Structure 1
């Protein structure tokens, strides 16, 4: 996905002849329109290109897709506002990462950003712009800076010679190769590890085989030993004769030698808050679960996943439970994925459920994905887990 226009800056300059800018400053972007629609925002046009590529091509690929990096080379046109370059570039990169995360439901907050410096012989070279690039690369491990300070330029003292352009391409390729190999190394390290997952019918998979679930497919893909402790009707904090002990108690049934522990819950707790004793009691018992897991598995990687979204989610008990899970897990530094808001699972949409949820009378099942739905969410969950 490419969007490039020569002689353009990040910082808006209303006296510029081309009048097109990459700025992600909120106050400026709020009044801007994409250049493709006759406006002056290159960034919004770039985002449009990304969205069209995802909607028309990438989302239709049988094996899914992963965006590996954001490539960038620019800076000459910001020499007049070089003091603002650090903030402007940082804001722009953050905007693209955030947009990709919201668009795809995957966490792209650490999307690798590969960029190069401006040649020092360039007639628009700015030491402040170069220093801003170096500072960003030093602060963000996912920003990879290529030193082009000594690059050869054409007689216009602006554009690279063929040799310099080829060198930049080779260095970008090397960075991409290292990034992709890094992902492969982390993936290989999962082979032979023991993964235990505990939860409700999301984990048990209700009426369909466990092998159809995203977590089973994740373990199988990475060569992990898989243990499923899902139970229909199970809650994090509510025990009953019908549904059995809550997860904050029955996690003790899981073996001691797990390398990865995943907890999926909260769906049933939302219906039982009054029986539990309210949201504060839910938080207390969730804290007991967090403390118990850390005590039982001090060397394991522990993850939580919330329930999906639902109709009338805002202000509901379902939202209270999701927010409580995020709060309590945060108190224990346990990574938690907000499936309700970032999962890309539109459980409140009838048409979506017909495609991605298990068959139910009158299409009322808002909890249980079918195999196609699990394959959709696998990409999201895998991206989240592999960060750690």
Structure 2
């Protein structure tokens, strides 16, 4: 919501912003690879959003903590993720216990795709569980995503 509110506050000519949530906590990037159940559910929701004339202008992707625990997951992150990202948030939490945090963060930052923007959330305030972002940090991530989105004109994905 912070993303949509920030975009509209800065550019009301955009009109209506629809958000299509597809998040599933605790999943690895492999569980989102093309053809997987999660990927197919995400596509199904996106197609439903397009039925009444909607446009997909960005994908806001916040994922990666689960991939910092296992070396195989961390090493496969780069290849899996580059297949469908448009906008991104780089991994926020170093406190989940994943010893491969730096490897996943490097993979996230090294991906170079047209129209991809990485928003670094490392160091933002976490909830007491030391994994999830605090409400204030979530709002800040939304504002940073809005800034990146508004920096250039994005043609619709579909």
Q: Distance in 1 between matches of 2:60 and 2:146?
A: 10
Q: Which residue of 2 aligns with 1:169?
A: 142
Residue 42 in structure 1 maps to residue 38 in structure 2? yes
Per the alignment, in what secondary structure is the counterpart of residue 158 of structure 1? Answer: coil
Q: Distance in 2 between matches of 1:48 and 1:119?
A: 28
| 1:66 Cα offset (Å) | 3.6
| 1:50 Cα offset (Å) | 1.2
Residue 132 in structure 1 maps to residue 110 in structure 2? no
Per the alignment, in what secondary structure is the counterpart of residue 140 of structure 1? Answer: coil
What TM-score, normalized by structure 1, do the two folds share?
A: 0.32
Q: Which residue of 2 aligns with 1:71?
A: 60
Q: Which residue of 2 aligns with 1:145?
A: 118
From 11, 15, 26, give the equivalent of 1:7: 26
| 1:52 Cα offset (Å) | 1.8
Q: Is the 8 A contact 1:76 1:124 kept in 2?
A: no
**CA offsets, 1:184-230, max 9 Å, x none?**
xxxxxxxxxxxxxxxxxxxxxxxxxxxxxxxxxxxxxxxxxxxxxxx
Runs of 4 or more off by more than 2 Å in structure 1? 119-122
Q: Distance in 2 between matches of 1:121 and 1:143?
A: 23
Q: Is the 8 A contact 1:77 1:124 kept in 2?
A: no
Name the larger-Rg structure.
1
| 1:77 Cα offset (Å) | 1.2
Q: Which residue of 1 aligns with 2:152?
A: 179
Q: Is the 8 A contact 1:117 1:133 kept in 2?
A: yes
Q: Is the 8 A contact 1:116 1:146 kept in 2?
A: yes
Which sections of structure 2, spanning at least 5 residues, go unmatched? Answer: 1-19
When the two chains are superposed, the root-mean-square deviation of aligned CA atoms in Å is 2.2
| 1:6 Cα offset (Å) | 1.0
**CA offsets, 1:9-60, max 9 Å, x none?**
122xxxxxxxxx2122xxxx3xx5xxxxxxxx111001111112222x22xx
Which sections of structure 1, spanning at least 5 residues, go unmatched? Answer: 12-20, 33-40, 59-64, 95-112, 184-378, 384-388
Residue 119 in structure 1 maps to residue 119 in structure 2? no
Q: Is the 8 A contact 1:7 1:77 kept in 2?
A: yes
Q: Which residue of 1 aligns with 2:81?
A: 89
1:124–1:145 distance in 2 versus 1, CA, 3 Å? farther
Work out which structure has the larger RCO, using CA pairs closer than 8 Å and 6 or more positions apart in sequence.
2
